[in-house]
Amino acid sequence: MDTLPPLYLSHGSPMAALEPGAAGAFHATLGPAIDRTFGRPRAILAVSAHTLTREPVLLAAPAHPTVHDFYGFPPELYELRYDAAGAPELARRVAALLADAGLPVHLADEGGLDHGIWTPLRFAWPEADIPILPMGFPPDWTPAQLMSLGRALAPLSAEGVLLMASGSITHNLRMVFAGTAGGRPPVDAPEVEPSAAFRRWFAEHAQAGHWSALADYRRQAPHAALMHPTDEHLLPFYVAAGAAGADAASAAPLAAGVRMHDSVTYGCLGMDAFAFGPSAPRLANALHAGQDA
């Protein structure tokens, strides 16, 4: 198996599980493209914006039930299931990597997949037959700290483990619901300019490998505070980017990122997806080949 590229996927609203749209169609092609190009991952290390902890925590339960961590949505959304096996052995491997890098880490015999994990995976691998290890991360760590966390995880990509970071490239729920009478705007509402400008800036800098600017995004990116009043949905991006580095001890610069998908829902909730590392172009080419077939 070739080295798997770490991923950052925007999961959007929980309604994406019922109304997949363009991002859901992308996720449905992503799993088969990875299987064709690299072989099916032996496990997934999932870093979600909805599993936040004071220090890194590995949910090392042998099985993970579906967690419906939201309210006020249609009943059929709560009937969806994506129950998957856990990865206790992988948890011990990850704990060793983080400890070797001098990072704090905790193992918990607890399980559960939040919607940031199971929403994209239900389209990518609907059989739910790949073991998953969720890892909680501290939302008060800086982008630089989270890239260092990712660097510690870099060896996993050559071991058949897919690092999937899940968040949203833009995430301001007040904007989503602004001007509506107790509901959401149309899912295909035209994108507002601040969202487009932020997504464009992020893609351009990621694809150019401007990591110092990306780490300082709250000062340098246009409309950063508007698009991310709190930044927990963007922070997983930095873990995935760091995981494309050589290892925790390496000072080599990170490779540029590749934006594999871009779309928007509700006019301001970006659904962009990125891959990182030397294998990222191969995955992008495989996706394009699958679309052309």
Alpha-carbon distance 124 to 121, whole Å? 5
Alpha-carbon distance 33 to 283, whole Å? 7
Number of domains, the chain: 1
Q: Which domain holds residue 186?
A: 7-292
SS3 54: coil
Question: CATH number for the domain including 142?
Answer: 3.40.830.10
Alpha-carbon distance 133 to 49, whole Å? 14
SS3 261: strand
Count of CB atoms situated within 10 Å of the CB of 54: 12
What DSSP assignment string belongs to 56-83?
-EEE--SEE-B-----SS-HHHHT----
pTM for the structure as a whole: 0.94
Report the b/e string of 228-246 with b at 16+ CB within 10 A.
beebbbbbbbbbbbbbbbe
Per-residue tokens: 279? 């294998």
Has residue 1 been placed in a domain? no
Instruction: Tell which wins on pLDDT, 268 or 186.
Output: 268
- The per-residue pLDDT for range 13-23, each reduced to its tens digit, is 999 999 999 99
SS3 26: helix
SS3 28: helix
Q: CA separation (Å) from 46 to 62, 87, 291?
A: 15, 11, 26
Has residue 95 been placed in a domain? yes
Instruction: State the average pLDDT over residues 128-155.
Output: 97
- The per-residue pLDDT for range 18-77, each reduced to its tens digit, is 999 999 999 999 999 999 999 999 999 999 999 999 999 999 999 999 999 998 899 999
Has residue 2 been placed in a domain? no
pLDDT for the residue 71:
85
Has residue 32 been placed in a domain? yes
pLDDT for the residue 181:
54
Per-residue tokens: 267? 């006019």
Alpha-carbon distance 188 to 104, whole Å? 42
Instruction: Specify the residue for token string 């035209």.
Output: 190
Alpha-carbon distance 124 to 128, whole Å? 9
Has residue 269 been placed in a domain? yes
- The per-residue pLDDT for range 83-107, each reduced to its tens digit, is 999 999 999 999 999 999 999 999 9
Has residue 169 been placed in a domain? yes
Has residue 144 been placed in a domain? yes
Has residue 246 been placed in a domain? yes
Count of CB atoms situated within 10 Å of the CB of 33: 22
